[in-house]
A = this chain, B = another copy of it.
Amino acid sequence: MLNDRIRYAPLRDKVMDSVQAASHIQDGANLFISGFTAGYPKLIPRELVNRAEAGERLKVNVYAGASTGEQVDGIMARAGIVNWRRPYMSDRNMRELINREEILFKDDHLSQLPPLVRSGEWGPVDVAVVEVLAITERGHLIPTMSVGNTPTYVREAKKIIIEMSGAEPPELEGIHDIYIPEDPPYRMPIPIYRTSDRVGKPFMECNPDRVVAILASKEEDSCAIFNEPDEVALLIAEQILDFVQHEVKQGRLPAGLPWQSGVGDVANAVLGGFLEDDFFHDLDLYSEVLQDAVLDLIDMGKVRAASGSAMTLSTKARKRFFKELYRYKEKIVLRPTEISNSPEVIRRLGVLAVNTAVEADIYGQVNSTHVCGSQLMNGIGGSGDFERNSALSFMVTPSMAKGGKISCIVPMVSHVDHSEHSVDVIVTERGLVDTRNLTPRQVAEQVIKKCAHPEYRDLLWDYYQRALKQRGGHEPHLLNEVFSFHTRLLETGDMRP
């Protein structure tokens, strides 16, 4: 089986075990790995952890496409062998260490990394560790369930270690579209005009001389677990679909704009909402991560094309996807993050972006990353790429969290990732506010009335009214009490007095 997948014969000699392979990775190395929620290597991280546990002094910098699974971020964080980690992660243990600065982390817009790596700004690409489906006749690499930044990492790496995955069927080949743009000042347009456009090659170009090891792997990605959407998610989804439908009918929004939707249950619910809907047909999804709902929509005949950088599926959906791959492959394109998240393409296509907030404030500023201003959750990911450049940007959040102890609508967000200028529409299960033609004061009135939970409405209204009277201005704020909700939460565990 392994030889079938290594179609470039000279590389068959490079097959070895993970102990030998990992010997190319030394203390202090810059490790650039494949992976964007899926498609990350599993054997080398485990072997590095083994070495550390056996007493070796080992710290490496880990650069991926975005988050990976327990088999990378979880075990490496716990073993204490990660120095820098970029960009985005969602592992509980790693998060703790980042918040203690025991792992160094900087939060990046995902679309901006590959050119920085190519410029050398992130230091030498010592070793790329890449999960692949197959090696072509010329030594090029077929990715697995994600593309992420891997094409750039492979191109720039001094040494390449390959984990040949046996977990995906060979028919996955052909789903990817790999295109690395020329860097400025000599870049030409990225020639994507429609969601379905293929502009590159189905493989990542690779110089086989740099491949130092190939491992046979049977490990699977840790699968996503999606909950059935709850009432809150369904209400949010319903309002977004109603709003867009209304704007299209009024002639203010053209029909047929592609959708992006962030990661998680609410995002999945928004796409799920299309299943019950009669208005939207021939959907284009120009997104980052494709989740279970995309397969459902394809099955219903609702999708014209779905483009992303990764597929994150539940165990059940994964089986279904592999079983009828021939059918799904006609609809799905997986691209490098630099392309899936390209401001150029997002603006050109006129994407409708739906992303999730940790909290939003009465003026529409949004926090996606830091709890009470200080504690990092996961990172900004691609939300900035989409919110800032889309034709219409939605930010969604439940009105409350933790059984009411937290209001997700606050006087001022404790950290800003997306400014009011980049956020068009705020949605909670309570209501939706289109901020595009409102002054900040009008936004505040509407967000408090429509989006906030009734339990917090009076508190917010009282704050706003006093700010208006005592301070006034274009965006009235009382700076000496603007974080009273948050400080109460920190002191008493509840934002309510």
Enumerate chain B residues within 8 angstroms of A472, measured Cβ to Cβ.
99-100, 374
A301 to chain B, nearest CB (A): 20
A343 at the interface (CB under 8 A from B): yes
Enumerate chain B residues within 8 angstroms of A365, measured Cβ to Cβ.
416
A80 at the interface (CB under 8 A from B): no
Enumerate chain B residues within 8 angstroms of A120, measured Cβ to Cβ.
251-252
Q: Which of B373, B389, B419 contacts A477 (CB 8 A)?
A: B373
Interface 9-mer from A39-47, A164-172, A436-444: A436-444
Q: Which of B188, B350, B422, B480 contacts A187 (CB 8 A)?
A: B350
Question: B475 touching A374 by the CB < 8 A rule?
Answer: yes
A375–B440 CA distance with the chains assembled, in angstroms: 12
Contacting B at CB under 8 A, from A178-227, are: 183-185, 187-191, 193-194
Contacting B at CB under 8 A, from A420-468, are: 420-422, 436-442, 467
A185–B348 CA distance with the chains assembled, in angstroms: 7
Number of residues on chain A facing chain B (CB within 8 A): 85
Enumerate chain B residues within 8 angstroms of A416, measured Cβ to Cβ.
365, 416, 419
A119–B350 CA distance with the chains assembled, in angstroms: 12
Binary contact readout A247-265 vs B (1 if CB under 8 angstroms, 0 otherwise): 0000111101110000000
Binary contact readout A88-115 vs B (1 if CB under 8 angstroms, 0 otherwise): 0000000000111100111111000001
Given contacts A101-B441, A191-B189, A475-B370, A350 and B391 within 8 Å (CB-CB): no
A376–B440 CA distance with the chains assembled, in angstroms: 11
Question: B479 touching A483 by the CB < 8 A rule?
Answer: yes
The winner among A412, A416, A442, A476 for most chain B CB atoms within 10 A is: A416
Question: A419 touching B418 by the CB < 8 A rule?
Answer: yes
Enumerate chain B residues within 8 angstroms of A185, measured Cβ to Cβ.
194, 254, 256-258, 284, 349-350
Question: A437 touching B121 by the CB < 8 A rule?
Answer: yes
A493 at the interface (CB under 8 A from B): no
A159–B256 CA distance with the chains assembled, in angstroms: 31
A59 at the interface (CB under 8 A from B): no
Contacting B at CB under 8 A, from A335-393, are: 342-344, 347-350, 365, 370, 372-376, 380, 384, 388-389, 391
Question: B98 touching A474 by the CB < 8 A rule?
Answer: yes
Enumerate chain B residues within 8 angstroms of A140, measured Cβ to Cβ.
none
The winner among A251, A414, A437, A490 for most chain B CB atoms within 10 A is: A437
| Shortest beta-carbon contacts, A-B, top 5 | A184-B350, A374-B473, A189-B189, A416-B416, A376-B474
9 further interface pairs, Cβ-Cβ under 8 Å (given A343-B388, A373-B482):
A99-B473, A101-B439, A121-B437, A122-B437, A184-B347, A185-B284, A343-B344, A344-B348, A373-B473
Interface residues, chain A, with chain B CB atoms under 8 Å away: 98-101, 104-109, 115-116, 119-122, 183-185, 187-191, 193-194, 251-254, 256-258, 284, 342-344, 347-350, 365, 370, 372-376, 380, 384, 388-389, 391, 412, 414-422, 436-442, 467, 471-477, 479-480, 482-483, 486-487, 490
28 contacts between A and B (CB under 8 A): A99-B472, A104-B442, A106-B439, A107-B420, A119-B251, A119-B253, A122-B437, A184-B347, A184-B348, A184-B349, A184-B350, A184-B391, A188-B193, A189-B191, A189-B193, A189-B348, A344-B347, A370-B473, A372-B479, A373-B482, A374-B473, A375-B473, A375-B474, A380-B421, A389-B389, A419-B419, A479-B490, A480-B487
